[in-house]
Chain A
Amino acid sequence: MDQDIDKLKKLAKELILVERKSFYGSEPERERLAKMRTLIDAVSKELGDDS
């Protein structure tokens, strides 16, 4: 359970980083959602495999 929360926290941090880069203009806005989906899929798969 704690491990799951740690993974979710890590994912939150990574998603914020993606957002930050787009929000502050260093990366194109349109790539943002695609990157987020990829990160979510990876963690979702990882957590699914764990359970």
Chain B
Amino acid sequence: MILNSVTVENFRSFYGEQTINFADDSKRNTTIIYALNGVGKTNLLNAVLWCLHGEFSPSFTNHNDILNWEAARRGRKSYHVSLHLEDSGQQYAIKRTGGENENFKVFMIEEDGNSRELKGSPSMFVNSIIPRDMAGYFINDGEGSDLKVSQNGMISIRRSIRDILGFNVAEKTLRDLSTIKKEVRDELKRFDKDHELSRIEEKIQSFDDSISKAKADFESNKSALELYEDQLDTVEKRLGNSSSAVVDQLIKQRDSAQKNRSARANQLQSLEAQKVSLIREYSWVAFAHKLSDEALDFIDEAELKGTIPAPFNLQLVKDILEREECVCGACIKPGTMAFEKINELTKEAADPDLLHRLQKARSRLTAVKTLSPQAYDRIEKNFKDERAVRDEIQALDAELEDISNQILQLDDAEIRKLEKDRGLLKIKIRETQRSVVRLEENIKSLTKERSTLQDEASRIEGLSPRAKVLKHKLNVIEGVETQIAKELEEAESSIHGILKEKIDSFLDKYLRQDYKVLITSDLNLCLQDRNGKAVPPSGGQGAILSFIYISSLIAIARERRDLDSTILTPGAIAPLIFDAPFSKLDPKYSPNIARELPKLVDQLIILMYQDEGKNVTSTFLEEGKLGKEYYFCEQIAGERGDREIHELNFGDQSVVVTEYGSAIDKVVVKEVVRND
């Protein structure tokens, strides 16, 4: 979208109709609007935002008091803003009227200049060009959106990233699905006579709550861990850069001990894993060891006595019974005592199956006997190795502690402080690592228990037909929730790398090497100075971070303009309208930012008072980017008296921005015409 012009009528400080034609040339794409503080910069920015979406920026107060005071005094009841814009080669006009006659219309401007009202919903049209949840980042009042700092100096950017990724509609859908699911569960209570299913569903709901809380804790601990690790890295680098030979020697010693410890820790880990596999491999041998001795002795003895297997063959016994004649020639008739006794022998007679089983038992018992000493040796070696490595680790820990104590006793306050910080960070890291592991296990166990409950619910039988329908409906809703959540998760996890790349690139363009930005995996952001110390985003540094961050968001929104997703809202290409962006910025960085900002967007609109030595206007001019300049002239009813006259300089000419003796109080928009 390119904004061609804005017209405001009786909107806050603007009495009557005022129009600004923006620079819409692709090369000279920058417009600067100069105005004293309190004269109308924020009003103009909000007029654009309100015309598009009927909303205002966070710092704009008194939303019900928009009608210009002078216009109201003269009986006017309404105010209006219209925007002329171009999107995908087509011209449009958006008109919004507020006050007594509220009205919102979008017109398509035909080639012959005639306008035709757009059919369908005007708000859907505007949102398709610049979604309202992204508009605040493009039309920025300089308050820095959601840059709220946490205790450890981190800024959560998850919300704004989700806005730019187009999460809001999907998230609202998930909230609505949760409401519908609750309704279904309530209904289920009425139809589930013995309340078996509804009780389980209630438990599932409480598990869902616990899982989401545990996940949030897990993410915040992981983020803190990343920050501590980064801080530790910086502290260690600073210690390593010390000019003292003693410190240098101790640090080298520590590095080597630490390297060694880390190798031993890895060794210990693999020995522990080996122990588990040895136990798996040989546990049955250990348990069967005594049994194998006794059982083999028993088999050998029984074999020797000829009791196992029985000393007569099954086939022989069967033949005698069938022929009714013994091997000695005696007649064996059925029903006789001899026949019955021989028949009894079939139960114990040696058959091929029994022989096979016997062989198998012998071979297993022999294996136990053979493996037993091997298992003993291998397990004992593992235990011995593990003990030795543990001892080494203990010795290395003592050495590391000793080195740290030596550093803490050095006659250098800065080194002592760094070492103390290092020690504290190490403790924080250890504690946070434990929390992360604990939370991870907690999430796993909660998820497992939830899945057991779900299995339990699916096995319940004897439900009434209506309860069955409701149960099925719950499954469908959960299925849809999973599909939506999956896509959101994938989009969010892919953005980390993209954001890091963007931030690094803007950091390099705007600031060179003075600062670095840390982004944790759960989208917390922190501006750090060269020493790795978190810089609170207030004042000048806040302005830097704001520029870097907003620039990155806009670049991401631009790349996602043609996103092919059914779940996420596509991004936007829109003008960047910045209110007083350079006011808090260090003059050292202003020219760099003024050089890069017009390249970032198709159109740039800057609202500011004056340059104040920051070389913003001159940089825009040098770069050939400045297309239009306007200033707001405040016309005041009444005599000047002792009051100061404010002037603005443009090259060799100066203009007055506060005029006295006007018939009424009003702000007039005037275009700057440079002589050069």
Instruction: Please report A residues at the B interface, Cβ cutoff 8 Å.
Output: 4-5, 8-9, 11-13, 15-16, 19-21, 23-27, 32-33, 36-37, 40-41, 43-44, 47-48
Across-interface contacts of B482 in A (CB, < 8 A): 8
Across-interface contacts of A23 in B (CB, < 8 A): 168-169, 172
Q: Mark B434-475, 1 if CB is under 8 A from A, else 0.
A: 000000000000000000000000000000000001001100
Across-interface contacts of B675 in A (CB, < 8 A): none
- B479 near A8: Cβ-Cβ < 8 Å: yes
- A37 near B180: Cβ-Cβ < 8 Å: yes
CA distance A13 to B480 in the complex (A): 9
Q: List 18 A-B contacts (CB under 8 A).
A: A5-B479, A9-B483, A12-B483, A15-B176, A16-B173, A16-B567, A20-B169, A24-B127, A25-B121, A25-B124, A25-B127, A26-B120, A26-B123, A36-B176, A40-B476, A40-B480, A43-B476, A44-B472
Across-interface contacts of A24 in B (CB, < 8 A): 121, 123-124, 127, 131-132
Across-interface contacts of B151 in A (CB, < 8 A): none
- A20 near B569: Cβ-Cβ < 8 Å: yes
Answer yes or no: B177 CB below 8 A from chain A CBs: yes
CA distance A9 to B479 in the complex (A): 9
- A25 near B123: Cβ-Cβ < 8 Å: yes
Quick one: which of A12, A37, A43, A44 contacts B567, CB cutoff 8 A?
Answer: A12
- A41 near B473: Cβ-Cβ < 8 Å: yes
Number of A-B contacts (CB under 8 A): 79
Q: A24-B124, A26-B124 are in contact. Are A15 and B469 (CB under 8 A)?
A: no
* Chain B contacts with A in 480-505, Cβ cutoff 8 A: 480, 482-484
Beyond the given A16-B173, A33-B176, please list 5 additional residue pairs across the A-B interface where CB-CB is below 8 A.
A11-B476, A12-B566, A26-B120, A36-B176, A44-B472
Answer yes or no: B170 CB below 8 A from chain A CBs: yes
Q: Mark B234-250, 1 if CB is under 8 A from A, else 0.
A: 00000000000000000
CA distance A28 to B176 in the complex (A): 15
- B124 near A16: Cβ-Cβ < 8 Å: no
Quick one: which of B121, B179, B484 contacts A26, CB cutoff 8 A?
Answer: B121
- B172 near A44: Cβ-Cβ < 8 Å: no
CA distance A29 to B589 in the complex (A): 46
- Indicate the member of A24, A33, A36, A44 with the most B CB atoms within 10 Å: A24
Q: Which B residue's beta carbon lies closest to that of A22?
A: B172
Answer yes or no: B477 CB below 8 A from chain A CBs: yes
- A48 near B469: Cβ-Cβ < 8 Å: yes
CA distance A31 to B124 in the complex (A): 17
Q: A8-B479, A24-B132, A44-B469 are in contact. Are A13 and B566 (CB under 8 A)?
A: yes
* CB-based closest 4 A-B pairs: A26-B121, A25-B123, A24-B127, A26-B124
- B168 near A44: Cβ-Cβ < 8 Å: no
Q: A32-B176, A36-B176 are in contact. Are A16 and B170 (CB under 8 A)?
A: yes
Q: A8-B476, A44-B476 are in contact. Are A16 and B566 (CB under 8 A)?
A: yes
* Chain B contacts with A in 118-151, Cβ cutoff 8 A: 120-121, 123-124, 127, 131-132
CA distance A48 to B469 in the complex (A): 8
- A48 near B472: Cβ-Cβ < 8 Å: yes
CA distance A14 to B296 in the complex (A): 72
Across-interface contacts of A32 in B (CB, < 8 A): 176
- A19 near B566: Cβ-Cβ < 8 Å: no
Q: Mark B370-384, 1 if CB is under 8 A from A, else 0.
A: 000000000000000
Across-interface contacts of B172 in A (CB, < 8 A): 19, 23
CA distance A24 to B120 in the complex (A): 13
Across-interface contacts of B168 in A (CB, < 8 A): 23
Q: Which A residue's beta carbon lies closest to that of B125?
A: A26
Q: Which B residue's beta carbon lies closest to that of A21?
A: B124
Least Cβ–Cβ distance between A39 and chain B, in angstroms: 10
Least Cβ–Cβ distance between B603 and chain A, in angstroms: 23
CA distance A48 to B479 in the complex (A): 14
Across-interface contacts of A12 in B (CB, < 8 A): 173, 480, 483-484, 566-567
CA distance A45 to B172 in the complex (A): 24
Q: A8-B479, A26-B121 are in contact. Are A19 and B173 (CB under 8 A)?
A: yes
Quick one: which of B123, B472, B484, B566 contacts A47, CB cutoff 8 A?
Answer: B472
Q: A19-B172, A24-B132 are in contact. Are A40 and B473 (CB under 8 A)?
A: yes
- Indicate the member of A16, A36, A41 with the most B CB atoms within 10 Å: A16
- Indicate the member of A4, A5, A48 with the most B CB atoms within 10 Å: A48
CA distance A24 to B179 in the complex (A): 20
Q: A8-B483, A40-B477, A47-B476 are in contact. Are A19 and B176 (CB under 8 A)?
A: yes
- A4 near B173: Cβ-Cβ < 8 Å: no
- A11 near B480: Cβ-Cβ < 8 Å: yes
Across-interface contacts of B479 in A (CB, < 8 A): 4-5, 8
CA distance A20 to B127 in the complex (A): 10
Across-interface contacts of A8 in B (CB, < 8 A): 476, 479-480, 482-483
Across-interface contacts of B476 in A (CB, < 8 A): 8, 11, 40, 43-44, 47
CA distance A23 to B482 in the complex (A): 21
- B480 near A15: Cβ-Cβ < 8 Å: yes
Across-interface contacts of A13 in B (CB, < 8 A): 566-567
Q: Mark B557-578, 1 if CB is under 8 A from A, else 0.
A: 0000000001101000000000
Across-interface contacts of B472 in A (CB, < 8 A): 44, 47-48
Across-interface contacts of B177 in A (CB, < 8 A): 15, 36
- B484 near A16: Cβ-Cβ < 8 Å: yes
CA distance A49 to B132 in the complex (A): 41
Across-interface contacts of A40 in B (CB, < 8 A): 180, 473, 476-477, 480
Q: Which A residue's beta carbon lies closest to that of B166?
A: A20
- A15 near B173: Cβ-Cβ < 8 Å: yes
Across-interface contacts of B566 in A (CB, < 8 A): 12-13, 16
Across-interface contacts of A11 in B (CB, < 8 A): 476, 480
Q: Mark B175-195, 1 if CB is under 8 A from A, else 0.
A: 011011000000000000000
CA distance A21 to B125 in the complex (A): 11
Across-interface contacts of B473 in A (CB, < 8 A): 40-41, 44
CA distance A12 to B182 in the complex (A): 18
CA distance A40 to B475 in the complex (A): 11
CA distance A12 to B488 in the complex (A): 13
Least Cβ–Cβ distance between B511 and chain A, in angstroms: 37
CA distance A27 to B569 in the complex (A): 17
- A16 near B176: Cβ-Cβ < 8 Å: no
Across-interface contacts of B120 in A (CB, < 8 A): 26
Q: Which A residue's beta carbon lies closest to that of B128?
A: A24
Least Cβ–Cβ distance between B383 and chain A, in angstroms: 49
- Indicate the member of A4, A12, A44 with the most B CB atoms within 10 Å: A12
Least Cβ–Cβ distance between B256 and chain A, in angstroms: 55
Least Cβ–Cβ distance between B181 and chain A, in angstroms: 10
